[in-house]
Amino acid sequence: MTTTVRHFLTDLDLTQAEQAEVLDLAEAMKKDKYGYKPYAGPQTVAVFFDKTSTRTRVSFAAGIAELGGATLIINSAESQLGHKESISDSAKVLARMVSTIVWRTYAQSGLEEMAENSSVPVINALSDDYHPCQLLADLLTVREHKGSLAGLSMAYLGDAANNMANSYLLAGVTAGMHVRIAGPEGYLPAADIIAAAEARAAETGGSVLVTTDAAAALAGADVVATDTWVSMGQEDEKAERLELFRAYAVDAPAMAQADKDAVVLHCLPAYRGYEISADVIDGPQSVVFDEAENRVHAQKAIMGWLLAKSGLADVAGVSQER
Ligand code: CP
């Protein structure tokens, strides 16, 4: 039987059961930091960045080292990728040299073309549409603090048309959560994302609420999340955006509407006084630094899981479809 190479391009690439298996693996890898070596050799992982990064860059490099591999961090502008060589040719070349390709880029279509032409797993390290690795870390963090995911309510406030809002919606309902997304008119998830989330929620027991009413999203929420109001590439719109999103700030009055034991997520970097107040992000309900650390454990898990499912490595705890 030929094994299909598995990729992680959007939050929907994992079923509910697969997402749980990845989170279980992340938990096991966190407990046994140096106990898993699917990149022994060392095998190389190529990690391309078209946009700036601190957490993603460092967490992939640290995680790959812990998995026994070697990391090649590449600033895309200094490579041929996408401007001096087609993505498809780049994928075919890279797959003969490295064991996994990780890419932070703009267009989701570029990641899809890379994956279509790659015989090794391709991982989305953030695109304009999704940030699925971040959501694995977020869900791992919520699971650690709340014990489980299915049935919890998760509110996301702010720029609800960005990659983080899309990923909260899709990954959250995949976990069986009740996901509430609130932002101003014109800055809500696209209709196709909402439809995909509703379809996934129907399978998992989760639900979707997309609203302009921050209070409706926050009411009794178990998890409250936000993200910068000015994503990479939107710097020219900063003044307009700060005004537009003001009613969606995660501050003390907002947190008073959530459950008293709610946890607060932010993927970082954060802008205190804008999307989140200093007293909330630096307060007792904030789990943002656990969330940041969990990028390492979650990404180790998705890399190991994809290798195992693609028949490219044996990883304890992951069933293989050879
Ligand atoms: N959250 C996140 O992706 O951080 P970086 O942009 O620093 O990688």
Q: What tens-digit pLDDT sequence spans the chain (322 residues)?
A: 567 999 999 999 999 999 999 999 999 999 999 999 999 999 999 999 999 999 999 999 999 999 999 999 999 999 999 889 999 999 999 999 999 999 999 999 999 999 999 999 999 999 999 999 999 999 999 999 999 999 999 999 999 999 999 999 999 999 999 999 999 999 999 999 999 999 999 999 999 999 999 999 999 999 999 999 988 788 888 888 989 999 999 999 999 999 999 999 999 999 999 999 999 999 999 999 999 999 999 999 999 999 999 999 999 989 876 5
Q: How far apart are CA 116 and CA 137, in angstroms?
A: 26
Domain count, the chain: 2
170 and 200 share one domain: yes
Q: Which two tokens stand for residue 244?
A: 């537009």
139 and 212 share one domain: yes
125 and 176 share one domain: no
Answer yes or no: is the C-beta of 267 below 6 A from any ligand 1 atom: yes
Range of the domain at 305: 7-131+295-310
Peptide bond into 284 cis (omega under 30): no
Answer yes or no: is the C-beta of 134 below 6 A from any ligand 1 atom: yes
Q: How far apart are CA 7 and CA 122, in angstroms?
A: 5
261 and 305 share one domain: no
144 and 92 share one domain: no
Q: How far apart are CA 300 and CA 255, in angstroms?
A: 32
Find the catalytic residue in 11, 267, 297, 299: 267
Axis-axis angle for helices 132-146, 163-174 (nearest 10): 50
60 and 193 share one domain: no
Q: How far apart are CA 109 and CA 113, in angstroms?
A: 6
Whether residue 76 contacts residue 48, with contact meaning beta carbons closer than 8 Å, is answered with yes
260 and 203 share one domain: yes
Going from the Cα of 319 to the center of ligand 1, the distance in angstroms, rounded, reads 31
Q: Which two tokens stand for residue 309?
A: 């499912």
Mutate to test the pocket of ligand 1, among 51, 56, 141, 281 (most ligand atoms within 8 A of CB): 56
| Residues 6 or more apart whose Cβ sits within 8 Å of residue 250 | 157, 158, 224, 225, 226, 264, 266, 275, 276, 277, 280
Q: Which two tokens stand for residue 131?
A: 């940030």
139 and 125 share one domain: no
Answer yes or no: is the C-beta of 126 below 6 A from any ligand 1 atom: yes
60 and 104 share one domain: yes
**For ligand 1, atom 4: residue with the closest CA:** 55
Q: Which residues are annotated as a binding site?
A: 53-56, 80, 104, 131-134, 163, 227, 231-232, 267-268, 295
**CATH code for the domain of 279:** 3.40.50.1370
The pTM score is 0.97
In this structure, is residue 1 part of a structural domain? no
Peptide bond into 269 cis (omega under 30): yes
The DSSP code for 173 is: H
Q: How far apart are CA 151 and CA 173, in angstroms?
A: 10
Residue 131 alpha carbon, nearest atom of ligand 1:
3
